[in-house]
Structure formats: structure tokens, C-alpha cells
Amino acid sequence: MSAPVEIRADFTVRLLDPLTEAELVHGWVTHPEAAFWLMRHATLTDTEREYMAIAASAHRDAYLGLHRGAPAFLMERYDPAYVDLVGLYEPLPGDVGMRLLTAPGLDRLPGFTPGALTASLRALFADPATERVVVEPDLHDTAAHARNEALGFRAEAIVQKPEKEALLSFCTRARFASAAP
């Protein structure tokens, strides 16, 4: 998924350019509202390095989500067989990991975060190789669990990652198609 994907007229997802957009993303990942992103104390240089490493990786990608043409959310896609969940569950062919971060303040707009999540899932499922999306939000992030469940995710297990206890949840293509607005 390298070309911009228009999901609806108000949401677009495209690859993040870490050379020109690291400063924007740095403001998001270090904001107090982004505590679950685990980059709260990152410097701008740390952020640039992280997203350059993601861009260079064969198993990870970062996307900038636009809402009505303006930067509004960050979505990361990863291969759970190689990144983040190695050894914590047995990935199936077609599994794709996802992380989502909305820009500070936008999550307060009614329906914004579910819209960004829907846009991200549509972009991931636009790839015919994607059969199932896996997420691993912090066990205590109940708002994320509720949003995920509303769009077809089913909690499968609690896993212990080095940085957090996480709720491993999966969304199949069929469940998303049934749940998506």
C-alpha cells in the first residue's frame, strides 16, 4: 500500500515521509494523550530515527492519515511474525498487525477515532493478502477495546510484552465487513 488510499471523501491514508513529517509526528507521540504509544519522552531525533527505521524495514510501515486533507492520525502496519508479537502467539498467513494514534485533541471530535480506525482497517483490508488484523492495546486502555470490538475485533488473549500487558485482539475480513459502517 504505497499510493494514497482514499477510504471516504473525508479520510485518506498514505505512507508517512519520515524526512518531512517527523516533527509533526513527534508532537503527537510525545503528547500526554499518547501515553499508550510509549514514546512520551522521545526527542525529535528519537522520533526521526524510529520512523526512518520503520521506513527501512521489510516488516513495518508507517502511514499518515488525513482527515479532510489535514494530517490527523498515524497508523502503523507490521508483520507480527517478525515484529512486536514474536513468540507471543502463532501468526497465521495473512495476519497484519496495526497500531493507531490520533492527533491530540481530534479524538474528542464525535466519531473521529472510530472513523480513523475504520479508514485504517479499510486500507489494510484493501490488500487481498490481509486476512486478519491483529492489535495489542494496553490491557487498561478500555476505550480502545470498546472501539475495536465495535468494528469486529475479538479479544483472544492477554499477553505480556516487555513494555506492557496487552489485550491481543483479532479482526477478520468477514467480521469487519459485517461491522463497518
Domain boundaries, the chain: 5-179
- For residue 180, name the pLDDT band (cuts at 50, 70, 90): confident
| pLDDT tens-digit readout, 116-163 | 999 999 999 999 999 999 999 999 989 899 999 999 999 999 999 988
| Distances, alpha carbon 167 to alpha carbons 27, 50, 149, 170, in Å | 26, 24, 12, 10
Hey, is 25 helix, strand or coil? helix
Range 65-70 average pLDDT: 93
User: Hunting for cell 487498561 — which residue is that?
Assistant: 140
Burial of 24 (0-12, 13-18, 19+ CB in 10 A): middle
Predicted model pTM? 0.89
Q: Reply yes or no on whether the pLDDT at 7 is more than 60.
A: no
Tally Cβ neighbours within 10 Å of residue 124: 23
Q: What is the mean pLDDT of residues 71-79?
A: 97
What average pLDDT does this structure show over 105-123?
84
- Residue 154 phi/psi, 5° resolution? -125, 130
Q: How confident is the model at residue 181 (pLDDT cuts 50, 70, 90)?
A: confident
pLDDT band for 79, please (50, 70, 90 cuts). very high
| Mean pLDDT, rounded, of the chain | 91
Query: 1 falls in which pLDDT band (50, 70, 90)?
Result: low
What pLDDT score was predicted for residue 9? 58
Report, as an integer, the average pLDDT of 7-26.
88
Which of the given ranges, 49-58, 100-109, 138-147, has the highest pLDDT on average?
49-58
- Distance, in Å, from the CA atom of 158 to the CA atom of 17, rounded to the nearest integer, reads 33
Q: For the chain, give the percent of residues with pLDDT over 90.
A: 77
Which CATH architecture is the domain 5-179 placed in?
Answer: 3-Layer(aba) Sandwich (3.40)
